[in-house]
Amino acid sequence: MSRPAIAICAAMLVVPSIARAQLVGRDLPRMGTFEISGGALWSGGYSFETALANETRNPTTGTAPLTLFQGKPRLDTATGAEAHLGMYLGRRVSIEGGVQFSRPSLTVRTSADFENAPETTAASPITQYVIDGSLLYQFRSGRLGPFVSVGAGYLRQILENNSIVETGNEIHGGGGVKYWFGGGRRFGFRAEARVSSRSGGVSLDALAKRRLVPAVSAGLVYLF
């Protein structure tokens, strides 16, 4: 056998073996692969500016307003659920759309009452949805795959008895890991932490500012 023929045969032996290793070890995800995931969610809360129940002071008794009581408004932390549907644009890059659902409480802690009314927390549950889209980058395609994500979303908060609907928007960034089970690696576990910067939505102060909301989630993921 000539030397070129030996070289070609050697190449034929080697190249298929490499290709087989890729298929067995990890044929997914690839461009066009879909990923569905869902799980539990913890969403952080945030405080609003302290609200003062002020009365106009009789000028002969002082200059500062008479504060009948003060209230510390807050959107409380909440647990909920989330789901994502994504599509891979390549082995490492994917886009996904998601929805989060949670039921935080809107609370006002009253204190410093002028007539010594006991401190009280007045609460009202709200229903909160975030519908978002994200771009994800996977750092590696092994069994344990860390990723980062950025995206934006639409916030919808429904107050007690569907009486008022407040809407807003958010941008977010975060990261997490996916851990794939078994040899096929279609089925796995996904954990993620993100920070969302929200604008709009329910507000209990006059400040038109963005509010940072941390969130962590964990659940199952499936490729198809």
Partner 1 sequence: MRRIASLLVCLVCVVVFGGGVEAYLKLGTRANGRSISLTDRSVSGVTATQFQQTIAHAFSTWDSVEGVALSSQFAGFTSAPPLDDDSVSVIGFANRPNLDRVLGQTSFTFDVVTGELVESDIFFNASFQWSVAQAGETDRFDLESIALHEIGHLHGLGHSGLGETELRAGGRRVLGAEAVMFPIAFSAGTTLDRTLRADDIAGIRDLYGTDTSRRATGSISGRVTKNGVGVAGAHVVAFNPSNGKLVGGFTLDDDGSFVIAGLDPGPQVLRAEPLDDAETDSFFDATVNVDVNFKPAFSTRLIVVPIGGTARNVEIKVVPK
Binding positions for partner 1, rule: CB under 8 A: 48, 51-61, 65-66, 68-69, 71, 73, 106-108, 110, 113-118, 120-124, 159-161, 163-164, 202-206
**CB within 8 Å of 109: residues ≥ 6 apart:** 71, 72, 74, 119, 120, 121
- Tell the smallest beta-carbon distance from residue 204 to partner 1 (Å): 5
Strands 127-138 and 120-125: unpaired
Nearest CB to partner 1, comparing residues 128 and 149: 128
Distance between CA atoms of residues 216 and 203, nearest Å: 23
Distance between CA atoms of residues 111 and 129, nearest Å: 31
By C-alpha distance, which of 159, 47, 166, 167 is closest to 103?
159
**CB within 8 Å of 19: residues ≥ 6 apart:** none
Nearest CB to partner 1, comparing residues 27 and 205: 205
- Tell the smallest beta-carbon distance from residue 199 to partner 1 (Å): 16
Contact (CB, 8 A) for 54 and 104: no
Nearest CB to partner 1, comparing residues 113 and 214: 113
Longest Cα–Cα distance in the chain: 115
Nearest CB to partner 1, comparing residues 169 and 203: 203
Nearest CB to partner 1, comparing residues 118 and 182: 118
- Tell the smallest beta-carbon distance from residue 63 to partner 1 (Å): 11
Contact (CB, 8 A) for 84 and 100: no
- Tell the smallest beta-carbon distance from residue 50 to partner 1 (Å): 9
Residue 81 has a CB neighbour count (10 Å cut-off) of 14
Distance between CA atoms of residues 96 and 113, nearest Å: 49
Tokens of 194: 């993100």
- Tell the smallest beta-carbon distance from residue 74 to partner 1 (Å): 10
- Tell the smallest beta-carbon distance from residue 167 to partner 1 (Å): 14
Nearest CB to partner 1, comparing residues 4 and 59: 59
